[in-house]
Amino acid sequence: MSEDKTVPAVPLEKLVKKYYSEQGMKEWKRLVRDAYHRLEFDTTMHFLRKHLLRKGLILDAGGGPGRYTIALGRLGYHIVLFDLSPEMLKIAEKQVKRAKVQRQVKQIIQGSIDDLSMFRDNTFDGTICLGGALSHILDKNRREKAIDELIRVTKKSSPIFISLIGRLAVLVTELICFPQEIEIEEVFQSIRDTGDYYGGYGFAPCHFYLPEEIEASLKKRKVTILEMVGLEGLSSGHQKETNRLFKKYPKAWKIWWETHLKTCTHPCTVAISEHFLVICKKQSS
């Protein structure tokens, strides 16, 4: 977050679209720009390989510039990429061609994840909603509808992956990077008490989740939670130190990655992670 002190009086969805349109290629590069950011991507891919069926049609809901779409295409899956931002999808089209996975990408569609009405029930062999796309819906009813839609379009007994931006990690980030914002009620206190951030301070409007919040929401539905994963894990909030370890101590980095995989599903690690992943399976009846 930055020090912009004005919260624009603009519909929140437009603010989200505006933010990501301005990010451009930065968002495409975000997940691979250094060892710290690769933790989110590599950990997610580790668990996608673990839980996805060996083949099938996958919905990448809120997939932005297509980083996961391309990765799954290279693994042989067919994918439908769906995102709110036309600018992100333009980047995705170019990157899909560059990666030569056009045959795997069946459709690229613009829209909001709380309205997947163009897809029939039980269409996909797996559904992914990664990078915090669900977090960028501020209205609780719309978030709940989006969860229902992600489940509805997924085949029975198939996996659903939802990653969220963690509330506790954001509070720590405020302490480390933006201490001046702690006294701003609509930023720090709003996030602390409700999880809601309405924009205007350098990031798109967002609802920051607690693990127990999404867990309670999913338990109301016909899904079984398989795992919850802290994607940055014990490295959360330690970008500089993580990158230093990767660059200067390669043997130690291998041990750290092994440690990360051993600890990233611990409830405490999930709670403090910048992004955390919920993996569930749609029930068969």
283, 225 in Cβ contact below 8 A?
Answer: no
Instruction: State the Cα angle at 277 between 147 and 93, rounded to 5°.
Output: 75
**pLDDT at residue 10, as a whole number:** 54
**pLDDT at residue 4, as a whole number:** 43
User: pTM for this one?
Assistant: 0.94
Instruction: Give the residues of the chain that fall short of pLDDT 70.
Output: 1-10
57, 60, 79, 139, 193 from 75: Cα distances, Å: 12, 14, 11, 35, 41
**pLDDT at residue 21, as a whole number:** 87
Smallest CA-to-CA distance from 207 within 276, 138, 143, 271 is with 138
**pLDDT at residue 97, as a whole number:** 98
Distance CA 208, CA 196 (A): 6
**pLDDT at residue 17, as a whole number:** 87
Smallest CA-to-CA distance from 103 within 124, 77, 65, 127 is with 77
Distance CA 72, CA 79 (A): 8
Q: What is the pLDDT of residues 16-41, one digit of tens each?
A: 988 998 998 999 999 999 999 999 99
Q: Which domains does the chain have, with CATH numbers?
A: 12-282 (3.40.50.150)
| Alpha-carbon torsion angle 192, 193, 197, 203, nearest 10 | 10
